[in-house]
Amino acid sequence: MTAVVDVLAVVLGFVALWSVLCRINHMQRGVTDPVVFWQHFALGLGVAGLLVLPPPWGRLALVAGLMAFLLAGSYRWRNGPPEGIKQ
């Protein structure tokens, strides 16, 4: 069972990394807020760390990347949902 979970975690990690890289690829200089780019860059680094580092450090990398993603964008949420989130 553990081997199945490990394989699933690696597959989902690659899917998550691919998704983040695709999002970064579609961002345009001068159009995309630089903070949004850095958020995704940090998240991608965290996911990559999960895939290449040993278990305790890989999990730490993922959580650190997620926290960087959330903290970098926190200013956009200080007065409620940012533009484009709420109709």
Q: Does the pLDDT of residue 24 top 90, yes or no?
A: yes
pLDDT in tens, 41-70: 999 999 999 999 998 999 999 999 999 999
Please say whether the beta carbons of 28 and 44 come within 8 A: no
pLDDT over 80 (residue 86):
no
In this prediction the pTM is 0.84
pLDDT of residue 19: 96
More confidently predicted of 25 and 81: 25
Domain boundaries, the chain: 2-76
In this structure, which amino acid lies at residue 21? L
pLDDT at res. 87: 58
Q: Can you read off the two tokens belonging to residue 68?
A: 């960087």
